[in-house]
Structure 1
Amino acid sequence: MTTTNAGALPRPTPLQRWLVLLFVSVAMFANYYIYDSFGPVVDLLREQEGFSYDQISMIFSAYSVAAVLVLLAGGYIIDRWGTKVAITVFAAICLGAAALMASTAKFETMLAGRFLLGVGAEPLIVAATAVLAKWFKGKELSFAFGLNLSIARLGSASADWSTSFAEPLYSNWQDPLWLATGVAGVGVAAAMLYWMMEARTEGRVDLGAPPETDKLDLKRMYAFSASFWYIVGLCVVFYATVFPFRAFAIDYFQQAHGLDRATAGMLSSLLPVAAIVATPLFGLWVDRVGRRSLFMAIGSLVMLPLFLLVTYAPPGPDVGIWIPFAGSAEVPLTLLVVMLLLGGVFSLIPAVMWPSVAYIVRENRLGAAYSMMTLCQQVGVFLVPLVVGRLNTHFLAGPENAGGYAPGMWFYTALAALGLLFSFQLWRTESGPGGHGLERGTKDAAG
């Protein structure tokens, strides 16, 4: 009998690759939907179950605590189990977390459910990345990553749109979370289909050797350059501003601006919708023209006044918007402009920030660099909701006291100013003789 070596095996066919992308993307869609399904029921939990803003913010932050612990473990579990087992197990953990949060309004149970979601969701993202790298290596890898991220962001937008297409469920807090549990079940089914597909093709196609794990090494964290830490600083304050704001946005638009839940959900969804469309376009543009640190500074500058505008600027006339599958609504012009600008920033900064690390850090340390960056980001996302929740509670924020939300908006603004400082320092460093090439693009290279 002749033994066939792995090098002689054919690479996966296009049909196999795109089926893998479909299954993984559905699992990621479910992952993002579950994460963002809690925001639209914040006001219902406060009104029907007596939750305080402090409790709501603690539930949000529990995810980041789990994420930090999982990131410290690195990719060991995924490497040991293999991608087909890992992606299914972590999807199942997300399903269990969604069901736990939908089962009861007991604060401790919801806190545990959100923590469990962090345990499953973060490694699921890592496992999905490993799957795509394995099946699309040498083929349409960047395009596959872009499509996967767009479909995942569509999960976030769909959670906001559920206030429209699933409006009857929002008579109580529980039914929307059971809907999220159903979506999680679809994600598990997609992960299982991927498991079956990889099992059927093992030994028949060449999926390459498993990559070595680049574990996060806290002892070497200070070996990175100043430019890297400026990017990390911007990453922390950017995500710690945008994610918590999105988490409270639907409730905020209802309480402070008098919008109904469906309209508030459509307005909030403009952020992930912008990311779906504009992030890859910004990435292509910046690759061509360079000026990466300058673009990060411009994005930070645009974000700086937005939270004060949404707080103090006159609402302006109502403007009609329409989103496919979600419906139409009339929204105040000021809120629309602010959310569109914030959506642009939400597309621009990540499109430039994450790839910039590859210019600054050696290739053999990229895994550790991205792990460190994500860990710091999650620490920020953990802390900021706690501060905003405390401010909302202390200043008695609510529909009878819309001004009580202003201190939280000032806090977001202070974070945005800190982000502008980090991006300015990065631009100043990279514009000098010690730059790493962030300002160069393909046009410069061609010249």
Structure 2
Amino acid sequence: MHTATLPRPTPAWRWAALVLASLAMFGNYYAYDALNPVVDLLREQQGLDYREVGMLSTAYNIAALLVLLTGGWVIDRFGARRAIVAFAAVCVLAAAVTAAAPNFPTLLSGRFLLGLGAEPLIVAVTVVLARWFKGKELSFAFGLNLSISRLGSAATDWSPSFAAPLYSNWHDPLWLATGVMSAGLGAAVLYFALERRAEGRFDLGAAGETDRLDLRGLYRFSPSYWYIVALCVVFYSTVFPFRSFAIDYFQQAHGLSREAAGMLSSLLPVAAIVATPLFGLWVDRVGRRSLFMAIGSLAMLPLFLVVTYLPPGPAVPLPFSEVELPLTLFLAVLVFGGVFSLIPAVMWPAVAYIVEERRLGSAYALMTFCQQIGWAIVPLAVGTLNEHFLAGPENPAGYAPGMWFYTALSALGLVFAWKLWQAERGPGGHGLEYPGGARPPA
């Protein structure tokens, strides 16, 4: 029977597929961020220094770079439903290796293995959503998938509260992450069974091509594309490394408890869960995409210096929690969460207005490849700065050079966003400043 004679999947089947694929991503994000609340324990109990903590993040990024270079041949060869199960299983193995690690080299191996599994898992889920959702629903489906995924990051930050007894050592929280990722693998297996049952009943469409990194003809991309790539690199090279060190930083430099530091750090992904889809809808209505990227970059510029030098302010209760947070830190991280929502909501869709459709896969893969390079370097740089300036609870000022490094990256991002705004306001613009990406008739 030809698939053309079959009906499209019903809403119940589509949303079931979305939920199961997104739960696999929830586990993926939880496993990646599980190291953040145990940085101080790794330093105290395992004897790691900040440079070595940075290397754990870099190991993941190097693996991700290797995956991007090899392309999505596994997904193309064996199909997305098998790939989701296989890569989720790799993530479970990686989480277990990390949790059981007796030494630093094994920790590095676990994080490297996680990079090999987590990045292609993200690509496989993207292909899955493209099969089940079409037209206007696709953007909404991607938004929900991202929200559920980032909820995994927030749950990691909350774990010092709901799993406080585990934090007497660094192994047990990582075993919890292994359990969460195992549940994600279970969701991937259920998705496999769901798609297998749906194939004979519904027209799932053709599987989308996996994004590949095409290094040929890169000169044909416009300057606006490269400004967005540059902004992407410095933005994610600032946000994600900061999150890696944030809980430890709030503990050591500002004297917060692990529970309070985790709650404070969780404001970034929580804000993104709520605000990213709303910013996306807003920008689609009003345009001004390059202007909003510049506004977000400008808003981020002073935040690292605010948390470093301004008085912490009075303690205020966190809503729906018994935790109290210093007002200055609370407001700064809340604004940072808004920036973390605004820039990605505008930046990634903007590429589709600039690059022709047949080259979008290569454009997004190249953008992600460059992002991973920056993301690999910055944790090492910040960790080295923290070590060189003897950062710690006895010397909170030792964290300041690292915060200035983040500020310099933010300033660079503002330069690229401003250059993009200039380019898009000129005659060679691609319509980023207009609703729907189309210039009004003259």
Normalising by structure 2, what TM-score? 0.98
Checking the alignment, whether the CA contact within 8 Å between 2:211 and 2:365 is kept in structure 1 is no
SS of residue matched to 2:428: coil
Aligned residue type for 1:39? N
In structure 2, distance between residues paired with 1:245 and 1:53 = 13
The CA deviation at 1:142 is 1.9
Decide whether the 8 Å contact of 2:21 with 2:187 is kept in 1.
Answer: yes
- 1:138 deviates by 4.3
SS of aligned partner of 2:130 = helix
Alignment CA distance shift 1:90-1:391 (3 Å) = same
2:361 matches 1:367: yes
Are residues 1:396 and 2:393 paired? no
Indicate the residue corresponding to 1:148 in structure 2.
145
Match of 1:265 among 262, 265, 276: 262
Task: Check if 1:441 corresponds to 2:435.
Answer: yes
Q: Is the 8 A contact 1:289 1:444 kept in 2?
A: no
Which residue of 87, 106, 110 corresponds with 1:109? 106
> How far apart in 2 are the matches of 1:371 and 1:139?
23
Counterpart Cα distance in 2 of 1:84 and 1:328: 42
Q: Distance in 2 between matches of 1:374 and 1:273?
A: 23
Q: 2:46 aligns with which of 45, 49, 55?
A: 49
1:127 to 124, 127, 131: 124
CA shift in 2, pair 1:172/1:233, >3 Å: same
Name stretches of at least 5 consecutive residues in structure 2 with no aligned partner.
none
Aligned to 2:63: 66
Quote the Cα distance in structure 2 between the aligned partners of 1:209 and 1:60.
36
Rounded Cα–Cα distance in structure 2 between residues aligned with 1:350 and 1:443: 17
Q: Deviations over 1:344-364 (max 9, x none)?
A: 100000001001101110010
Bigger drift between 219-228 and 299-308 goes to: 219-228
**1:293-442, aligned counterparts within 5 Å?**
293-323=290-320, 327-442=321-436
CA contact (8 A) 1:274 1:347 kept: yes
Preserved contact between residue 75 and residue 210 of structure 2 (Cα < 8 Å)? no
Q: Any conservation in 2 of the 1:72–1:216 contact (CA below 8 Å)?
A: yes
Which ranges of 4 or more aligned residues in structure 1 deviate by more than 6 Å?
Answer: 443-447
Give the 3-state SS of the residue equivalent to 1:120 in structure 2. Answer: helix
SS in 2 for 1:217: coil
Partner Cα separation in structure 2 for residue 363 and residue 239 of structure 1: 25
Contact 2:127 2:209 in 1 (8 A): no
Q: In the alignment, is residue 236 of structure 1 matched against residue 233 of structure 2?
A: yes
Within 2, Cα distance between the matches of 1:222 and 1:328?
Answer: 55
The RMSD of aligned alpha carbons is: 1.4
Deviation digits for residues 22-51 of structure 1 (CA, Å, limit 9, x no counterpart) = 111110100000011110000001011111
Which of 76, 86, 89 is the matching residue for 2:86? 89
- State the one-letter code of the partner of 1:388: V
* CA deviation after TM superposition for structure 1 residue 199, in Å: 1.5
Contact 2:50/2:387 (CA < 8 Å) preserved in 1? yes
Q: Shift of residue 446 of structure 1?
A: 7.9
- Measured against aligned partners, the alpha-carbon deviations of 1:73-106 in whole angstroms (never above 9, x if no partner) come to 2222111110110000000000000000000241
- Secondary structure in 1 matching 2:316: strand
| CA displacement 1:146-185 (0-9 Å, x = unmatched) | 1111110100000000010001110111100000000011
Equivalent pairs, count = 441
| 3-state secondary structure, aligned to 1:328 | coil
In structure 2, C-alpha distance between the alignment counterparts of 1:321 and 1:126, rounded to whole Å: 36
1:331 partner SS: strand
Query: CA offset at residue 15 of structure 1?
Result: 1.6
Amino acid at match of 2:379: P
Identity of aligned residues (%): 68
Give deviations 1:170-205, integer Å, cap 9, x for gaps.
Answer: 011110000000001100100000111111222321
Q: 1:207 aligns with which of 201, 204, 207?
A: 204
d(CA) in 2 for partners of 1:77, 1:351: 29
Aligned partner of residue 434 in structure 2, secondary structure: coil
Mapped to 2, the partners of 1:92 and 1:444 lie a distance apart of: 44
Give the superposition deviation at 1:60.
1.1
Cα distance in 2 for partners of 1:19, 1:278 equals 24
Equivalent position SS for 1:109: helix
Verify the 8 A CA contact 1:214 1:367 in the aligned structure 2.
yes
Q: Deviations for 1:118-148, whole angstroms, at most 9, x for unmatched residues? A: 1000110111111111011247222221111
Letter of the 2:405 partner, please give it. Answer: F
| Amino acid in structure 1 at the alignment position of 2:399 | Y
2:251 partner amino acid: Q
* Contact preservation (8 Å) 1:255, 1:402: yes
Q: What is residue 248 of structure 1 aligned with on the other side?
A: 245
Match of 1:178 among 175, 179, 197: 175
- Please list the CA deviations of residues 321-341 of structure 1 after superposition, one character each: whole Å capped at 9, or x if unmatched: 134xxx331111110111011
Paired with 2:285 and 2:116, the residues of 1 have a C-alpha distance of 38
Question: 1:294-332 deviations in whole A, cap 9, x for unaligned?
Answer: 111111111111101110111111111134xxx331111
Gaps of at least 5 residues in structure 1 are none
Q: 1:436 and 1:279, CA in 2 relative to 1: closer, same or farther beyond 3 A? A: same
8 Å contact 1:221–1:372 — kept in the other structure? no
Letter in 2 for 1:38: L
Residue 445 of structure 1 and its aligned partner are, at CA, apart by 6.5
Q: Quick check: 1:281 aligned with 2:254?
A: no
Does residue 28 of the first structure (1) align with residue 25 of the second (2)?
A: yes
1:184 corresponds to which letter in structure 2? Answer: M
